[in-house]
Amino acid sequence: MNALEHIRSMWGAKVKRSTKLIVPSVTHDGSEGSLNNELWAFRVSYVFRDALDIKYEERRKDKTPYMVWTQGPILRFKEGDLIYSNDNCRAVQVRFASPMGWDAQKEEMYQGSVAYSEYVVSSGNFSKSKEHECTQMQFLEFLMLGKYE
């Protein structure tokens, strides 16, 4: 199951967070953290945990508490988010966004929206190449693959 299918599998009126993550793993030591997703087209770093709905939560097994990283289904990239490609040749900046959320009346997931600008980066200079509008899920797919499938 790929990352987008995994997120879709959690859609419903009652969200049950999963211990299976859409990133390979989360590591944190002191002041540095990583989502260990170097194979993605864009560097979606540790600071984007909330945007990816990744949280460190307490769970219990046999009444014994333990902490674990969990994945939820609500993507929420927001205005101002700036993300560079792994090759440093491109960057995207979110101009406007609305988060995902469950629509109880329609009994379906509202996939939110993201309007973003894509830039070519050369010698530290940015030149705008394209503007896009898509859903939060499509934006995640773009960040992972560098394109839409």
Whether 12 has a pLDDT exceeding 60, the answer reads yes
**C-alpha–C-alpha distance, residues 52 and 55, integer Å:** 9
**C-alpha–C-alpha distance, residues 135 and 9, integer Å:** 17
The pLDDT tens digits for 24-65 are: 999 988 778 999 999 999 999 999 999 999 999 999 999 999
Which pair of structure tokens corresponds to residue 30?
Answer: 């002191």
Whether 1 has a pLDDT exceeding 60, the answer reads no
Whether 88 has a pLDDT exceeding 90, the answer reads no
Whether 124 has a pLDDT exceeding 80, the answer reads no
**C-alpha–C-alpha distance, residues 147 and 144, integer Å:** 8
Lowest mean pLDDT among 8-17, 95-104, 111-120: 8-17
**What average pLDDT score do residues 71-85 get?**
97
Q: Which of 69, 73, 76, 59 is nearest to 20 (CA)?
A: 69
Whether 78 has a pLDDT exceeding 80, the answer reads yes
Contacts of 64 (CB under 8 A, 6+ apart): none
In the chain, the percentage of residues whose pLDDT exceeds 70 is: 99
- How many helices (H) does the chain have, and how many strands (E)? 2, 10
In the chain, the percentage of residues whose pLDDT exceeds 90 is: 83
Which of 78-82, 120-124, 145-149 has maximum average pLDDT? Answer: 78-82
- Phi and psi angles of residue 4, each rounded to the nearest 5 degrees, phi first: -70, -40
Whether 114 has a pLDDT exceeding 80, the answer reads yes
How does the average pLDDT of the chain come out, rounded?
93
How much helix, strand and coil, in percent to the nearest 5, is found in the chain?
15, 40, 45
